[in-house]
Structures are given as C-alpha cells and as structure tokens.
Structure 1
Amino acid sequence: MRSYLAAEPALRRLELVVTRRLDGLLQGEHLGLLPGPGSEPGEARAYVAGDDVRRMDWNVTARSAEPYVRDPIADRELEIWVLLDATASMDFGTARMEKRDLALAAVASIGFLTQRLGNRIGAHLLHSSLSVVPARTGRAHLMALLQRVFSLPRQGSSVPGLGAALERLSRTLVRRGVVVVVSDFLDPPEGWERALRRLAVRHQVLAVEVVDPRELTLPDVGLLTLVDPETGRRREVSTASGRLRRRYAEAAAGQREAIASALRGAGASHLRLRTDRDWVRDLVQHVMRHRRLARAAAVPAQRPPGAAAVPGQGPPGGGDVA
C-alpha cells in the first residue's frame, strides 16, 4: 500500500496539472440531464410564436434585425459516478506511467473540473472486491477519494468481472447523472456490453479506455516471458519472429476494434488514453470534438425552417465533462 506521505504530494502535483492545463479551457455550464428549465441563459435561437418575450436577447436581435431569444438551461446539481477498474491488469506499464496511474489521472481530471461547480462525485472501486465511495461534494471529499484510489495495493486475486460491477452500479443509482467507466476493458465485451447499454439508457456514459503500447505491438527483444496478471499464467515467446509480431499486432487491433464497437453499440462516449501519450491533450481533443458534434446536432434542430444563423452564436462553452 502506498502511504499518505507519498500520496499527498503526488495528488497535489496532479491537481496542479489539471487546473493549469485544463481549467478555463474545459469549464462551462453542464447541460441539465433532468427535464425542466433552469435559471441560467442558454444559446440564442430565432424567436417563434409563443415564446416568452421576457427571454428576448436584445443584443442579438439588434445585430441580426431578427427577433432572438435565449432558453434557460438546467442548473441542478449533477451527480457523477466513477467505476474504476483497479484489477491486476491495470498494474502494467512500459512507457511514461502504469495504466493504474493513468486511470488515477483520468478520475482526478473529472473530479477537479466538476467539484467546484458543486457537483457530487462518488466511486465504485473494482479491486479484490467491489467497494463504494458515497457521492459527496467538496474538495476534501475528492482528495479522500483519490487518496483511496492511490493507496489501493497491487493484487492478483480473482474479482467480480466488469459486467457484474456495472450491473451493481446500475442497481444502486437513483438519480440521473454522468457515469464514467475507467478500465482497460480486457474482459470479453459480451460480459459487459449489455450492462453498459442499460446504464446508458438513463445516464450519460463516458468510457475511458486505458491502453499501454506493449498491448498493441511486440518489440523485437528476443526471448520474452509473458505473464497474465489476472491468472498468473506464464508463456515464453520468441519476439525475433516477424510472423509472430504481425499476428500479435493483428490480434491486438482486432481486440481494440471489438472494444470500440461494443462501446459504440452500448451508447457510451469513448475516450482512449495511452500511457505513452500526452493524456491531457487527448482529453482536451475528446471534449472539444464532443462539443462540436453536440453543437452541430443542436443548431439545426432549434432553428425554424428558413431562419438564418447568427454568426458567432452557439452554445456558451457548455457541455459536460464527457
């Protein structure tokens, strides 16, 4: 177990990385997940008969010479649940960090970027057993959650599968919210895809897939002993064989495509983070791409037939963490 003395400075450095590189860039009001109007103004849209004139946006109306209004967005407290895979396969890494450290960074990013908006965050930790951290608000709670994740010991014992963990999470969630699943998704997709699909019916789901480059390709390093961290099985292979390396790469690519296909089929947003890449940049690119798609889908649906777009008008930097 990694001690508090080691965890505290490590988590503070991680907080600085998140707040310096992501804060301000990804901040914005999240869209409400429950029906009903809020009190904060949303994006401008063309006025249609029956709209409340008290919501008129006079600045946009004056610039466009067309009447425009702003709909309110929901401003309720958002509840975020993280399902973190901390099984033995996550205790692996051959690049900048281990997969478990990258998973911690992903959880920390979501937590630090949402806790100041008053959102509640909780976690289900899949380790030697499935433990639950209740959802609460505040930085102290978030740091305690991250400290618990940081201190999880390495282990190789059998645990409930990812599918069973998703089923339990689905049964315990009462309020609609955001669910973030952080895993390498190495369990066969048929074991967790259906449970993830059920979660996505009521919640917005972000699947963070954590990958190490050695899981995708084998280097030519001669005789290599491979160990399955979940079962302890060992096998020696000769990586000097070009045919073996090609077959490994093809099998790995097929496995990752099957994972991506299952996540798409379940209706989850898919973010892949690698231990040999800048995870902050990958996170930012994912969020920006998600926002562009959301805006492109929202604008045509809200604009009446024949109405012209207002240059420079769009959602107010909103969107959620996913």
Structure 2
Amino acid sequence: MTGPGTQMPVAPAQAARTEAVISRLQLLVTRKLDGLLQGDYVGLLPGPGSEAGESREYRPGDDVRRMDWPVTARTTTPHVRRTVADRELETWLAVDLSASLDFGTAQWLKRDLVIASATAMAHLTVRGGNRIGAVVGTGAGVPPKEPRSWWRRKPDGPPPPPPSAPVVRLPARPGRKEAQALLRTIAGTTIRPGRTDLGALIDMLNRPPRRRGVAVVISDFLSPVEGWARPVKKLGVRHDVLAIEVVDPRELELPDVGVLTLADPESGMLHEVQTSDPQLRQAYAEAAGQQRAAIARALRAAGAAHLRLRTDTDWLLDMVRFVAAQRHARTRGTTR
C-alpha cells in the first residue's frame, strides 16, 4: 500500500486525457446537480447529522436507533430525535478498480462510471471545509504464495523485489483543489490483472475509527457477497453508507450472436459460449438476476443507500433522480 500523497507514474498523453475527462465531468455535474442542492447543505447522500435537535412523532421508515425514549415514555407515542446537519463532514470513498471494471459494451466503460461517480461525490461533498479521501483497489489482489526459495538470498545476487501493493490510500483533505488532485489520481490509476479483495478494501474505512461521516463504496460488487457484506454492515454502524453499483447490460443477459469468445479480465481465462442456445441465455439471465438480487439484499440488510448505474443509460440522469429521491425521503422524515 502506498503512503499518503503517493503518485502513480502517468504518461504525459494519459495525464492530458485524464485532465480533460475530469474537467468535462465536473462541468456536467455542476450543471445538473447544483440546481437540486441550492439552499441545502446536504450532498448526494443526505446525512442525518449527529448533533441532537428537536423531537417529532415516529413515522414508518425512520431509523429506530434515533428513538427518543424519554419523550416516548412521557407522551406514550413513539418519537424520534431529529438531528442537526454536521458541518465539516469527512467523506471517504472505497473505489474498486478491479480488472472487471475495465469492461463495457454500451456508451461507457464501467471504469468511466466509477470515475464519474467519484467526481459527483467530490463535487457535492467538498463544501464548507468538508474533507474527502479515498482508498483505491487496483485489482492486483493478493499475490500467490511463492516457494520458500523465492525469498532466500541466492549466491548469484539479491532476491527479486516484492510484488507491488494492491491498494492506494489518498488522505482526506479539504478544498476543491485537493479534491481535484484526488480525482486525477483515481482516474490515472492503472488497472492490473486480478481481483481486488472488496471486503478488505471496505474494511480499510473502518480502520482507524473515524468520526461519523459519509462512506461511499463504488464497485460492480462481483466479488462473493459473503466477502464484503459484513464489512459494509460494520461500516454502516458509524457512518452513512452509499453503495454505487456499476453494471453493464451484458452482465445481465446475453445477445443471440452465435459462438462468442469471452475473456475473464481478472484471470485471463477464455470461454466459448454458444449464445444461440435459448436455454443457455435464459439460464444466464436467471443466474445474473439472482446475483444482483443477492447484492441488493446484502446492501439493504447493511442499511446502505443503493444507487445502480448502467453503462447503457444516462448515468447523470440516474444520479439526479437518486438525489431527488433522497431529498424527498428526507423531507418526509425518512432516512432512506
């Protein structure tokens, strides 16, 4: 794992492209989302705050952890304690850039949506001294165990260098310039073969313990659910959690195009699939539906807000609708 402020080497041409992409995304986000948030302090995920305020009657959907038991006992009617929005919040992003994210068959690559999501979060949360940081999984994964002779010093020279760490940590800092530098680093991160340990990546937001804030997990969540469900649930105990799921339509159903050769970007294995078989296409769609349903159940059980972005739709419109729905729920007094 690299230390704070560590930069990955980026070619000049790639750096110029990255800068152009970030500038365009920030312009899009500013035009579309600023109007929704005028006069409000809340961002993409309206956090309830931690400072106690007035009480009101309980409504279906309210967080039972905010029950005001003394008022409930006096009035014999369930009440919840309102909270005042925190200032100078800290937002952390867990950005999964596994090899499976370097894929797309529609308007965007899944990687593009990851960067777009991070840009929207940075724009909407870096206000009034708020800080934003990130941990980025590069897809390198855990290297396989080498034989004992791999690390022993040999007579003909020193041992080879250890494998590079799969995670980049970017410290939380306030200010728009610092947020733009964070986005440039995320956009310029090289995706490596292998799978990021999503559970370990999310758990890095729990260590060390931080003050209450907003935690955003951006991934396609293709890792086994049992590997990341518990860390997300643990994260939701202290923070408001937003899970942004990135999906490509070919991950949900297969087209009828005859024999199709598929390459697993994480393992490099090749598979030939006869897509003209209707039973195979149906079985694939059912398995994909069950997988996405399991992801949604795990996030719902963890109390996380869930935003799904697809590469074949207008991601910005989906995000605007999500912000509007969150604000509507906030107005009605519900938490999700």
1:312 paired residue number: none
* Cα distance in 1 between the residues matched to 2:242 and 2:317: 17
Task: Find the counterpart in structure 2 of residue 91 from structure 1.
Answer: 102
Cα contact 1:36–1:74 (8 A) shared by 2: no
Residue deviations 1:92-118 (CA, integer Å, cap 9, x gap):
001111001101000000101221332
- Any conservation in 1 of the 2:241–2:304 contact (CA below 8 Å)? yes
Identity %: 49
**How far 1:35 moved relative to its partner?**
2.5
Give the CA RMSD over aligned residues.
Answer: 2.2
Aligned residues: 270
Instruction: Map Cα deviations across residues 250-307 of structure 1 (whole Å, 9 max, x no partner).
Output: 1111100000001001111100000111111111111222222233235xxxxxxxxx
Instruction: Tell me if structure 2 keeps the 8 A contact 1:32–1:76.
Output: no
Mapping for residues 97-108 of structure 1, pairs under 5 Å = 97-108=108-119
Matches within 5 A, 1:9-88: 9-27=20-38, 28-30=40-42, 31=47, 33-36=49-52, 73-88=84-99
TM-score when normalising by structure 2 = 0.75
SS where residue 25 of structure 1 aligns?
A: helix
Aligned to 2:145: none
Aligned to 1:169, the other structure's residue is in SS state coil
Matched, 1:4 2:15: yes
Amino acid at match of 1:244: L
Aligned letter for 1:155? R
| Selected match of 2:198 from 162, 169, 172 | 162
1:245 CA drift (Å) = 0.8
- Rate the CA distance shift 1:32–1:247 in 2: closer, same or farther, 3 A: closer
Matches of 1:107 and 1:167, distance apart in 2: 19
Which AA in structure 1 matches 2:51?
P
Q: Relative to structure 1, is the Cα distance of residues 98 and 72 closer, same or farther in structure 2, using a 3 angstrom cutoff? A: closer
Tell me the CA shift for residue 203 of structure 1.
0.3
Q: Once the two structures are superposed, what CA deviation does each residue of 1:172-203 show, in whole Å capped at 9, x if it has no partner? A: 24211000000000011111101110000000
Q: Structure 1 pair 158/276, CA: closer, same or farther in 2 (3 Å)? A: closer
- CA distance in 2 between counterparts of 1:78 and 1:139 reads 14
Report the alpha carbon displacement of residue 133 of structure 1 after superposing the two structures with TM: 0.4
1:239 counterpart residue number: 275
The aligned counterpart of 1:313 is none
Q: 3-state DSSP class of the match of 1:271?
A: strand
Is structure 2 residue 125 aligned with structure 1 residue 114?
Answer: yes
Pair 1:296 & 2:332 matched: yes
Asked if the contact 2:95/2:219 (under 8 Å) is kept, the reply is yes
Structure 2 spans left out of the alignment, 5+ residues: 1-9, 58-81, 141-165
Query: Shift in Å at residue 219 of structure 1?
Result: 0.6
Q: Which runs of 5+ in 1 are unaligned?
A: 47-70, 299-318
